[in-house]
C-alpha cells in the first residue's frame, strides 16, 4: 500500500478541492491499474451521491457519536504479537476504514455548514434526548461502564401503567491538564468540596487544596467549617485554615465557632488558633459568655488558662 500513498493524497484533494488537469491524468492512469484505489474512489462517489439521504445529526447527537467512536477505538483489543504502530498501519489501510473516514469527513463538513449560522450557546435539543440516545447505543456492560454520562443520587417511584418516576443527577467525565493556578482548577476543587456527597472525596480534595489556597478556596473552606454536616470534614477544613495567620475572615470564623459550635474538638482547635495569634481576650470572653450551645469544661479550662497567663505577663 506504500506505493499508493501519493495517490491517496490526490484522492483526498479531489474530494476536498478538486485536481488540476495534470493531477487528474495521473490519478486516472493509476486507478485504471489499482483496484484498491479504484474501490476507494467508488466508495467516495457512492457517499457523495447519497448525501441528500443522510439525516443531519444535531450538535448534541454529533458529540455523542464522536464520544462513542472514540470509546470504541479506546476499547479495541490489540494483538499482543504486534506493536501499536503495526496495528495502526493495518487498521488505517483497510477499505472499511476508508469508507468510515470518508463518511466522517462528510458528516463533519455538513455539520460545520449547518452549525455555522447558529449562535454558539444555542441549545438545539433537550438534554434528556442526549442521555436517552446514549442509553439506546449502550448494549453491553462495557458500554455502560464507559458511558460518557454518570448517574447518581437516584430516586425511584413506581407509577401506574408499568411506568416509574425517576430522579437523578447526571454528569459527564472530562480529563484535562491545567496549571495549578488555573481558575478552572480552583473552581472544580471548590465545587467538589461543597457538593460532593462522599466524605472521602471531600477530605482528599481539601488536603490537595491546601497546596494552592487562594481567596476562593479559603472562602470555600470557611463555608465548610460552618456548614458541612460531617465533623471529619469540618475538622479537616479547620486544620487547613489554622495555618494562615493574621487573617480577619479566619479570625471571625474561629470566634463564630467558639460561640456556636457543638463539637469540643472544633472549639478547642478554634481556641488554639485564637490564643496562638494573641487575639484580644475580651473577644474570646464575649463569645463564650454569649454562646448559643453549652460550653464544655475543657474549653473553659483552656480559655481561663490563656487569660490567666496574659494577666501574669
How far, CA to CA in Å, does 129 sit from each of 50, 124, 306? 27, 11, 64
How many other C-beta atoms are found inside a 10 Å radius of the C-beta of residue 71? 17
Global pTM value: 0.50
Measured distance CA(211)–CA(246) in Å, rounded: 19
pLDDT in tens, the chain (313 residues): 467 878 888 888 887 778 888 888 888 888 888 888 888 888 777 776 665 565 666 665 666 666 666 655 655 544 444 454 554 445 444 444 455 555 555 555 444 444 433 333 333 356 777 778 888 888 777 777 778 888 777 788 888 777 888 787 878 777 778 888 888 888 888 988 988 888 988 998 999 888 888 888 999 999 999 999 999 999 999 999 999 888 899 999 999 999 999 999 999 999 999 988 888 888 988 998 998 888 888 888 888 888 887 766 5
Q: Could you tell me the domains of the chain?
A: 2-115 (no CATH), 183-312 (1.25.10.10)
- 5-16 vs 35-49: helix axis angle to the nearest 10? 20
**For 50, phi and psi rounded to 5 degrees?**
-90, 5
Amino acid at each position: 500500500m506504500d506505493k499508493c500513498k501519493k495517490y491517496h493524497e490526490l484522492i483526498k484533494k479531489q474530494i476536498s478541492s478538486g485536481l488540476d488537469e495534470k493531477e487528474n491524468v495521473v490519478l486516472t492512469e493509476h486507478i485504471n491499474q489499482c483496484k484498491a484505489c479504484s474501490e476507494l474512489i467508488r466508495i467516495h462517489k457512492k457517499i457523495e451521491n447519497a448525501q441528500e439521504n443522510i439525516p443531519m445529526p444535531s450538535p448534541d447527537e454529533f458529540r455523542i457519536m464522536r464520544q462513542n467512536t472514540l470509546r470504541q477505538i479506546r476499547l479495541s483489543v490489540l494483538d499482543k504479537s504486534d506493536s501499536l504502530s503495526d496495528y495502526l498501519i493495518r487498521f488505517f489501510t483497510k477499505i472499511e476504514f476508508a469508507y468510515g473516514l470518508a463518511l466522517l469527513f462528510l458528516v463533519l463538513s455538513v455539520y460545520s455548514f449547518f452549525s455555522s449560522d447558529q449562535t454558539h450557546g444555542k441549545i438545539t435539543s433537550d438534554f434528556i434526548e442526549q442521555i436517552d440516545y446514549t442509553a439506546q447505543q449502550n448494549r453491553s456492560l462495557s458500554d455502560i461502564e464507559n458511558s460518557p454520562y454518570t448517574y447518581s443520587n437516584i430516586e425511584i417511584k413506581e407509577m401506574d401503567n408499568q411506568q416509574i418516576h425517576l430522579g437523578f443527577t447526571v454528569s459527564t467525565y472530562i480529563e484535562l491538564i491545567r496549571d495549578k493556578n488555573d481558575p478552572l482548577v480552583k473552581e472544580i476543587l471548590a465545587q467538589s468540596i461543597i457538593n460532593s456527597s462522599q466524605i472521602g472525596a471531600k477530605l482528599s480534595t481539601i488536603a490537595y487544596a491546601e497546596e494552592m489556597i487562594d481567596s476562593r478556596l479559603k472562602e470555600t473552606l470557611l463555608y465548610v467549617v460552618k456548614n458541612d454536616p460531617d465533623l471529619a470534614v469540618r475538622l479537616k477544613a479547620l486544620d487547613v485554615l489554622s495555618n494562615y495567620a493574621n487573617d480577619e475572615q479566619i479570625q471571625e470564623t474561629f470566634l463564630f465557632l467558639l460561640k456556636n459550635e457543638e463539637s469540643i474538638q472544633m472549639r478547642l482547635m478554634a481556641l488554639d488558633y485564637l490564643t496562638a495569634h494573641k487575639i484580644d481576650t475580651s473577644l474570646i470572653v464575649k463569645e463564650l459568655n454569649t454562646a448559643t450551645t453549652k460550653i464544655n469544661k475543657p474549653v473553659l479550662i483552656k480559655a481561663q488558662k490563656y487569660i490567666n497567663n496574659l494577666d501574669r505577663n
